[in-house]
């Protein structure tokens, strides 16, 4: 990949200020990307951003300009999102919600994605405990279904079908529907999230399967103005950085599935992408500390590592990167370098797993050069084991306007 000029310029400035490693978030690019996602979706299809992909407040503020809501998956994310973007609609999902988290969700007016009959009972008891005001507000719920819709083996994380802790079988849904009357809760529809890492066609096939089931089930339960959430999981291909998920084609497919508004009046479809929204706006910028040979292979050791950017270790890929040459070499001895050969970029951790990119051919990489790892805006810093070895944390810098 090549780093855009604003990323290169900021990287050079941060290097001069001795402020690397650092994350650089391109808010201008994110703003344009989020606008394209919104524009690609047909009327009647909403999108919620899955905050777990990257909860950085500056990113949330940009995304909130375009997204219909934010999907949060813990009490912590709920508080954080409500503070970052006050008043923006929230949906609260994820397994194992506590009574305190459910109470906070009801107080915030969030739509709750209920994962099991036990969780529905707990939510109902929380609402009873909150008394009149919460009951009058009639908190809304979607029931999360675990559906056996086939997804391709190439999908990154499969979270639906077969056995798993996510959502419930048909029996669980029916049990919840029977429990609901008199609880003060309003059934709004169904929620599904089947897998991550899907291309356009598998994502549409999964959506069609969810929709077929959900429409029938909601009709049978006489749900008025149903909301059907089709999940996230739109693919990001780290091996082909240019192959960005085709939101326009996906939107066209959703339009076919949604049909005309007149055919299903009051129905809302919703998606909740995370990775494919923020992955591309993030860069992890660092400096090469050393270049050496070991066992006949070239290694470049960079400042930082997978404790800042765990994504390549978590997913088993080489993180795409751009080399930003720097002539700043303060030492009297020759710069160690690798030229026209494969090199493995590893970090400062004492583990062989601390590899950011393996055996990638470079034209030239020298100690003292800068490296900007691309596609570092989702499941990157926030999934990293930053306390391991007690290295300092990266800085955070932004290109473009923060919307406050």
Ligand X SMILES: Cc1ncc(COP(=O)(O)O)c(C=O)c1O
Enumerate the active-site residues.
350
Q: Which of 11, 15, 20, 50 binds ligand X (CB under 6 A)?
A: 50
DSSP class of residue 145 equals: B
Distances (CA, A) of 94 to 19, 105, 192, 226, 380: 36, 12, 11, 20, 20
Name the minimum Å distance from CB 237 to ligand X.
13
Contact characters 10-49, ligand X, x per CB under 6 A: ----------------------------------------
Name the minimum Å distance from CB 401 to ligand X.
25
DSSP class of residue 42 equals: P
Residue ranges in 323-382 that form contacts with ligand X under rule CB under 6 A: none
* 38 vs 93, beta carbon nearer ligand X: 93
Q: Which of 51, 53, 82, 258 binds ligand X (CB under 6 A)?
A: 53
Give the Cβ contact number of residue 109 at 10 Å.
14
**Strands 297-302 and 282-294, how do they pair?**
antiparallel
| Residue 194 in contact with ligand X, rule: CB under 6 A | no
| Residue 273 in contact with ligand X, rule: CB under 6 A | yes
| Residue 193 in contact with ligand X, rule: CB under 6 A | yes
| Residue 267 in contact with ligand X, rule: CB under 6 A | no
Span of 3-11, 145-153, 267-275, 288-296 interacting with ligand X by CB under 6 A: 267-275
Name the minimum Å distance from CB 55 to ligand X.
12
> Is there a contact between 188 and 111 (Cβ–Cβ < 8 Å)?
yes
Span of 177-185, 218-226, 272-280, 312-320 interacting with ligand X by CB under 6 A: 272-280
Spatial distance between the Cα atoms of 81 and 56, rounded to a whole number of angstroms: 9
Spatial distance between the Cα atoms of 86 and 80, rounded to a whole number of angstroms: 10
| Residue 196 in contact with ligand X, rule: CB under 6 A | yes
Distances (CA, A) of 365 to 131, 295, 330, 339, 370: 65, 19, 17, 7, 9
Residue ranges in 64-123 that form contacts with ligand X under rule CB under 6 A: 71, 93
Span of 57-65, 124-132, 266-274, 332-340 interacting with ligand X by CB under 6 A: 266-274
Spatial distance between the Cα atoms of 141 and 124, rounded to a whole number of angstroms: 11
DSSP letter string over 188-243?
EEEE---EESB-HHHHHHHHHHHHHHHHHHHHHTT-SS-EEE----B---TT-TT-
Q: Which of 117, 172, 209, 274 binds ligand X (CB under 6 A)?
A: 274
The footprint of ligand X on this chain (CB under 6 A) covers a number of residues equal to 15
Name the minimum Å distance from CB 379 to ligand X.
7
Q: Longest Cα pair distance anywhere in the chain, in angstroms? A: 79
* 68 vs 71, beta carbon nearer ligand X: 71
Residue ranges in 205-244 that form contacts with ligand X under rule CB under 6 A: 231-234
Torsion of CA 168, 54, 109, 251, to 10 degrees: -70
Where along the sequence are the contacts to ligand X (CB under 6 A)?
50, 53, 71, 93, 193, 196, 231-234, 272-276
């Amino acid at each position: 990949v090549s780093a855009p000029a604003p990323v290169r310029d900021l990287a050079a400035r941060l290097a001069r200020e001795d402020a690397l490693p650092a994350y650089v978030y391109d808010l201008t690019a994110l703003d344009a990307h989020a606008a394209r996602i919104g524009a690609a979706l047909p009327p009647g299809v909403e999108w919620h951003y899955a905050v777990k992909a990257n909860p950085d407040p500056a990113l949330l503020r940009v995304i909130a300009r375009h997204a219909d809501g934010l999907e949060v998956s813990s009490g912590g994310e709920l508080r954080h999102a409500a503070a970052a973007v006050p008043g923006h609609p929230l949906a609260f999902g994820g397994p194992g919600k506590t009574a305190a988290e459910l109470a906070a969700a009801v107080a915030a007016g969030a739509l709750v994605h209920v994962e099991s009959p036990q969780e529905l009972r707990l939510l109902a008891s929380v609402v009873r405990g909150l008394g009149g005001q919460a009951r009058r507000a009639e908190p809304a719920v979607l029931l999360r279904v675990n559906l056996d819709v086939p997804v391709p083996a190439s999908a990154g994380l499969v979270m639906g079908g077969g056995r798993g802790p996510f959502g419930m079988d048909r029996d669980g849904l029916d049990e919840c529907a029977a429990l609901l009357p008199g609880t003060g809760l309003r059934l709004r529809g169904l929620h599904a999230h089947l897998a991550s890492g899907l291309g356009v066609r598998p994502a549409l096939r999964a959506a069609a399967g969810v929709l077929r089931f959900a429409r029938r089930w909601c009709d049978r339960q006489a749900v008025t103005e149903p909301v059907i959430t089709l999940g996230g999981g739109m693919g990001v291909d780290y091996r082909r950085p240019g192959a960005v998920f085709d939101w326009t084609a996906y939107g066209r497919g959703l339009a076919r599935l949604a049909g005309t508004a007149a055919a299903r009046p009051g129905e809302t479809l919703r998606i909740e992408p995370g990775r494919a929204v923020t992955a591309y706006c993030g860069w992890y910028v660092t400096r090469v500390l050393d270049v050496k040979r070991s066992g006949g292979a070239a290694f470049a050791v960079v400042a930082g590592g997978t404790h800042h950017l765990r994504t390549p270790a978590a997913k088993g890929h080489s993180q795409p990167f751009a080399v930003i040459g720097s002539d700043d070499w303060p030492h009297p001895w020759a710069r160690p370098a690798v030229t026209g050969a494969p090199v493995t970029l590893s970090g400062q951790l004492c583990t062989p797993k601390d590899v950011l990119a393996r055996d990638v051919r470079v034209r030239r990489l020298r100690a003292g050069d800068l490296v900007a790892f691309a596609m570092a805006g989702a499941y990157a810093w926030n999934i990293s084991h930053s306390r391991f070895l007690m290295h300092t944390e990266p800085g955070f810098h932004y290109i473009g306007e923060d919307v406050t």
